[in-house]
Amino acid sequence: MKTPKPLSRRPWLQTVLSTGLLLGALGTVALSPNTAAAQSAYPNKPIRLVVPFAVGGVTDTSGRLIAEQLSKRLGQQVIVDNKPGASGNIGTQMVAAAAPDGYTLLLGFDGTLVINPHVFPKVGFDAANDFAPIGKIGDAILILVSHPSVPAKTLKEVIALSKTQAGGLSYGTSGTGGTPHIAGELLKQRTGANLTHIPYKGGGQALTDVLGGNIPLVYTAVAGAISHVKSGKLHAVAVSSAQRAPSMPDVPTFIENGVADFDINSWVGLLAPAKTPRAIVDKLNTELNAVLNDPAVRERLNILGITASPGGSEKFGRDMARDLARYAAVVKAADIKAE
């Protein structure tokens, strides 16, 4: 009798083994950190929102409002974590170095992200490459105001008056390197105005001095000046936005006064570390825009002097890149350095 030949591997067994190997390989790919994070049910734990400033300011208050509303929409608590220091650089650097998993976010401020890199010798982050923009929260419109005793009322008159002053016409701001300071220097560069910057430790101190007649001009946020303008204690010269401020429709813009392309607002936005999965960025952008389109939220932001600016993450990124480039030129020309 012949010895039977060993049975060959059955076709169904080969199929199972081959399929198992294939599924194992696909599983290895699917479990890569970024892909898994993007495909999982995000978020499944609390999110930390780093605010790189102290508790109580407008930036902090706006961040807490957004955190509160996002918590409701995401089903997970968004916890505000204040990390002040070095004009916002410390907290911003922490987020730049955080894991790109969507659980550490930054409340970004224009002064920190697009001005500090030019005025500080070292900030500890690369504003252009270390972050994934999620969306702009809103813009704070800036305004140039004067004491009523100043004879110049229009912007053209202010510029003309400044050129007659040997030491220049003084303007106060919240401090060196802030957006109002940058706006004042850009005004000088664009018009030849003879203006002298007086930095204060906060916009409130600058307003106190102009109200007292100690300085003729202050560049500040509309929110801080509006009550004084309406009471007649200060005179509004012009606003820096592209269109007139809704809260002060009678005040012309710098553009209307002949200063072309003079659109400078202070802004606040939401960012994540670079390389955060696209799916997470898109989800956060969608939820942020839903929050910003809520009339109640818009009204609360308006009280803070912030005009809600919902939009795409790509546009926010382009706006940041534009400001980073144009402010570099202003800072260099004015030789602004952090104090």
Q: Assess whether 106 and 176 both reside in one domain.
A: no
Q: Assess whether 122 and 147 both reside in one domain.
A: no
> Region 272-283: what's the mean pLDDT?
98
pLDDT digits (tens, 9 = 90+) for 73-106: 999 999 999 999 999 999 999 999 999 999 999 9
- Is 245 part of any domain? no
Q: Assess whether 134 and 145 both reside in one domain.
A: no
Q: Residue 101 is part of a domain; what is its CATH number?
A: 3.40.190.150
Q: Assess whether 133 and 145 both reside in one domain.
A: no
The amino acid at residue 311 is: G
Q: Assess whether 122 and 270 both reside in one domain.
A: yes
Q: Assess whether 68 and 214 both reside in one domain.
A: no
Q: Assess whether 110 and 147 both reside in one domain.
A: no
The answer for residues whose C-beta is within 8 angstroms of residue 5's C-beta and 6 or more apart is none
Which uninterrupted H or E stretch holds 221?
strand 217-221
- Is 24 part of any domain? no
pLDDT of residue 40: 63
Whether 27 has a pLDDT exceeding 80, the answer reads no
The owner of tokens 């902090």 is 60
pLDDT of residue 303: 87
- Is 246 part of any domain? no
Domain encompassing residue 230: 141-239
Whether 162 has a pLDDT exceeding 90, the answer reads yes
Q: Assess whether 161 and 233 both reside in one domain.
A: yes
- Is 224 part of any domain? yes
Whether 7 has a pLDDT exceeding 60, the answer reads no
Cα–Cα distances in angstroms (integers) from residue 26 to residues 12, 32, 37, 122, in the given order: 21, 10, 16, 44
- Is 178 part of any domain? yes
Size (the chain), residues: 339
C-alpha–C-alpha distance, residues 212 and 227, integer Å: 15
Q: Assess whether 169 and 315 both reside in one domain.
A: no
Which residue, 198, 220, 239, sits at the end of a domain?
A: 239
Q: Assess whether 146 and 181 both reside in one domain.
A: yes
Report strand pairing: 195-199 vs 265-273.
unpaired
C-alpha–C-alpha distance, residues 336 and 339, integer Å: 9
pLDDT digits (tens, 9 = 90+) for 103-150: 999 999 999 999 999 999 999 999 999 999 999 999 999 999 999 999
Q: Residue 209 is part of a domain; what is its CATH number?
A: 3.40.190.10
Which residue, 194, 220, 239, sits at the end of a domain?
A: 239
Q: Assess whether 150 and 235 both reside in one domain.
A: yes
C-alpha–C-alpha distance, residues 42 and 241, integer Å: 37
Q: How many CB atoms lie within 10 A of CB 49?
A: 21
- Is 28 part of any domain? no
Task: Kindly report the average pLDDT of the chain as a whole number.
Answer: 89
Q: Which of 44-48, 125-129, 252-256, 304-308 has the lowest mean pLDDT?
A: 304-308
Q: Assess whether 135 and 274 both reside in one domain.
A: yes
Nearest residue to 210 (alpha-carbon basis) of 150, 161, 158, 258: 150
Q: Count how many domains the chain has.
A: 2
% of residues, the chain, pLDDT over 90: 80
Collapsing DSSP to helix, strand or coil, 325 comes out as: helix
